[in-house]
A and B are shown apart, each in its own frame.
Chain A
Amino acid sequence: DTGVSQDPRHKITKRGQNVTFRCDPISEHNRLYWYRQTLGQGPEFLTYFQNEAQLEKSRLLSDRFSAERPKGSFSTLEIQRTEQGDSAMYLCASRPSGRQKETQYFGPGTRLLVL
């Protein structure tokens, strides 16, 4: 399978704990996006990487959230001191460079439940 992969698929944690999610984009896709999706809603943009550079962050990305893409390949999203309101599906998407290649391909997501 050469699609976007995410790990873990599910995570249950207690409030106050830190969690880290990983995304492996489609090979040679240099653009990578993180979105958050709550039940019944569409995905909401969190942040965007072009290669290893984080070029845009949403207001939704509070100080407790940090994302990295150190080598321009896989990316991690860390949430510190989790809160119950962080419970959601965290989706990663990737796309190649080029104005005519705008389709974002999504991974299966990581579902987070904060107790």
Chain B
Amino acid sequence: GESVGLHLPTLSVQEGDNSIINCAYSNSASDYFIWYKQESGKGPQFIIDIRSNMDKRQGQRVTVLLNKTVKHLSLQIAATQPGDSAVYFCAEKPSDSSYKLIFGSGTRLLVRP
């Protein structure tokens, strides 16, 4: 069935280092992917998105890479800060859906001071 999964449930990094959060997806028909950040007790917050016709997109301190060959998505955070500590979810939108998103189970990012 359709699934979006993450390789590492918890990632601990030193403040100032770069972070890489990985995600595997299974639906080759998905045409849109998105990363959300969720802090405790809050709703998911949009970080960055990418369409399937792209393989890289950059934002402020964040970069999303899409490898459709191996169905892999990653989120890179440069110069990780304590405020980046949260759970990160990737999500995919199948092209034949009503634009609903299919989420993975999340990766917790811990930033050590």
Contact = CB atoms under 8 A, between A and B. Distances in A.
A88 B86 CA distance: 19
B13 interface: no
Interface stretch (A66-74, A76-84, A97-105): A97-105
Contacts of B91: 42
Interface residues of A, number: 24
Interface footprint category on B: 20 to 34
Query: Chain A interface mostly helix, strand, loop or mixed?
Result: strand
A108 B43 contact: yes
Nearest to B36: A106
Interface of A: 4, 6, 31, 33, 40-45, 48, 55-56, 91, 95, 102-109, 111
Interface of B: 4, 32, 34, 36, 41-46, 49, 89, 91, 93, 98-106
